[in-house]
Amino acid sequence: MTPTRDAAPIRDDLERRLAAIGEPASRHVFTTLYPEAARAAADAADARRRAGISLGPLDGAMVSIKDLFDVAGEPTTAGSALRRTAAPAAGDAPVVARLRRAGAVILGKTNMSEFAFSGLGLNPHWGNPGNAADPSLVPGGSSSGAGVSAALGTSDVAIGTDTGGSVRIPAALNGVVGFKPTARRVPLDGAFPLSPTLDSIGPLARSVRACAEADAVLAGEEWRPLRPVPLRDLRIGVPRGLLFTETDADVAQAFEAALGMLGAAGARVADVAIDDLLERMAEATAPAPLASVEAAAVHADWIDAEEAAFDPRVHARISRGRTVTAATYIRMLRTRAGLIGACDDRLSPLDVLALPATAIPAVPIAAVAQDEAAFTRTNLLMLRNTMVGNLFDLTGISLPLKGRARPVGLMLLARHGQDRRLLEIAAAVEAGLR
């Protein structure tokens, strides 16, 4: 049970969270707060509890939403200064409406990389959230505030988006669980897009169960308690090769220790080759990343006129997609579709792939904030492993590996559509690693 659902009044718990949000550790974590609306939601949840009524597992839970979801009556900034004067949203995004109907107490919107286009989580417009483990380190992005809020406990659940790792990276770097569902399983309406082909919406929280509860609400599904699968005979593939190059020694040690524990519990761990698929995907997207191509279309109307208002690093990444022709883009999508099928066949004998969520732990903000080359190199390395899940249309989760000075994540990937099974496997792995 999360703290919001114990014997203490939910309103009292809310006031504690709001006070904590005002502390230095939470600086730049939130961009907008909804204290009065949250108090009304908490009071309503308390009234339901006194009456013996529950709307489900998120009733009374403290939830934050990434700053790219529509909330009726206010502009959706998506972490950008140029969106401050955008027209107010006509209504709540479907996921926001579902959270409200489930009784969630929505605290506010969390900070993010501008337009969700970075794995490091820096934002020159709203400020840089500090990592929950050490505020001098990057929080991971693009759902930066979500990862920090979940880790600090100002949110029971933080809702983010994941286009190339933007839920799993901040989860890994802040020591919490982050779940990326299969793309399109959760409706994207009312979420400012980065890449409609790759975008997905998922939760960050301190446990697999909390993520699963939130995922059911986001997907509009009835909640059913997880039934963790036995670790014995779980088939785990390890894609050694390209995805293990340049891996930090502490990350590698933590990963191998986790594999050892799972093997000792009876899981069948074996290497699996996917480098050929990775190389073919790299060839297909060589003209520009798919996210850049689609983002260029999203921002086409203002990318030139409002260039000065962009984070220059984000503007450069979006602009790269402008050179790709329609014919090249269509071929890219067709090739990707074939590779998704080939990857699905390759993974069919396995239950999950396992690899480090990120090749490196969080780096100092000062090391990348002003050094363009260092930023680019670190950002690519941070995104490399998680991006596989989006490009090959997989579902994925990052689990925290404890006992490290800088948090490290274990990523599990499963075939598309196997979201429920992945969550049940993750619950078993979570328990086995304790």
Mean pLDDT for 163-187 is 98
- Containing domain of residue 18, as a range? 3-218
DSSP state of 364: B
187 part of a folded domain = yes
pLDDT over threshold 90, residue 214: yes
CATH number at residue 86: 3.90.1300.10
Please give the Cα distance from 44 to 103 (Å, whole number).
Answer: 8
Supply the pLDDT for residue 403. 78
Q: Is residue 115 part of a domain?
A: yes
Please identify which of the residues 26, 64, 142, 200 carries the catalytic annotation: 142
Structural domain includes residue 156 = yes
Average pLDDT over residues 244-256: 97
Is residue 166 annotated as part of the catalytic site, yes or no? yes
Instruction: Examine the residue annotation and report whether 66 is marked as an active-site residue of this protein.
Output: yes
Task: Out of 26, 64, 66, 319, pick the active-site residue.
Answer: 66
Band (pLDDT 50/70/90 cuts) for residue 434 is: confident
Average pLDDT over residues 229-256: 97
Region 144-167: mean pLDDT is 98
Considering the candidates 113, 118, 143, 166, report the single residue annotated as catalytic.
166
Quick check: is 297 in a domain? no
CB-CB contact of 79 with 66 (8 Å): no
Local confidence band at 3 (pLDDT 50, 70, 90 cut-offs): very low
Q: With CA atoms as reference, report the closest residue to 103 among 20, 226, 217.
A: 217
Query: Which two tokens mark 384?
Result: 């490399």
Burial zone of 128 (CB within 10 Å; 0-12 exposed, 13-18 middle, 19+ buried): buried
User: Tell me: the pLDDT tens digits for 194-213?
Assistant: 999 999 999 999 999 999 99
Q: What is the mean pLDDT of the chain?
A: 97
In a domain, 98, yes or no: yes
Average pLDDT over residues 282-302: 98
The C-alpha atoms of residue 189 and residue 92 are separated, in whole angstroms, by: 10
Q: Tell me if 236 sits within 8 A of 243, measured CB to CB.
A: no
Q: Is residue 389 a contact partner of residue 330, using CB atoms and an 8 Å limit?
A: no
> Look-up: residue for tokens 């006509």?
90
The kind and range of the H/E element at 353 are strand 352-356
What is the rounded average pLDDT of the residues 106-132? 98
Q: What is the rounded average pLDDT of the residues 176-181?
A: 98
In a domain, 267, yes or no: no
End-to-end distance of the chain based on CA atoms, in angstroms? Answer: 18
Percent of the chain with pLDDT over 90: 97
Rounded distance between C-alpha atoms, residue 387 and residue 394, angstroms: 10
Average pLDDT score over residue span 219-243: 97
How many domains is the chain partitioned into structurally?
1
The two most distant CA atoms of the chain are separated, in Å, by 61
What are the percentages of helix, strand and coil residues in the chain, rounded to 5? 45, 15, 45
Percent of the chain with pLDDT over 70: 98
Residue 430 and residue 261: Cα distance in Å, rounded? 11
* Beta bridge mates, 355: 411
Which pLDDT tens digit goes with each residue over 258-290?
Answer: 999 999 999 999 999 999 999 999 999 999 999
What was the pLDDT predicted at 404?
82
**Nearest to 26, CA basis, from 13, 36, 16:** 16
Specify the pLDDT at position 5: 46
3-class DSSP assignment, residue 108: strand
Of residues 129, 31, 146, 29, the one with CA closest to residue 83: 31
User: Cα dihedral angle (234, 401, 65, 369), rounded to 10 degrees?
Assistant: -130
Residue 263 maps to a domain: no
- Please check whether residue 173 is in contact with residue 381, taking contact to mean a CB–CB distance below 8 angstroms: no
Answer yes or no: 113 catalytic. no
Mean pLDDT of 40-65: 98
Q: Is the pLDDT of residue 136 over 50?
A: yes
Give me the mean pLDDT over the 396-403 stretch. 94
Mean local confidence (pLDDT), 24-29 = 97
Q: How confident is the model at residue 405 (pLDDT cuts 50, 70, 90)?
A: confident
Identify whether 110 is part of a domain: yes
Q: How high is the pLDDT of residue 6?
A: 52
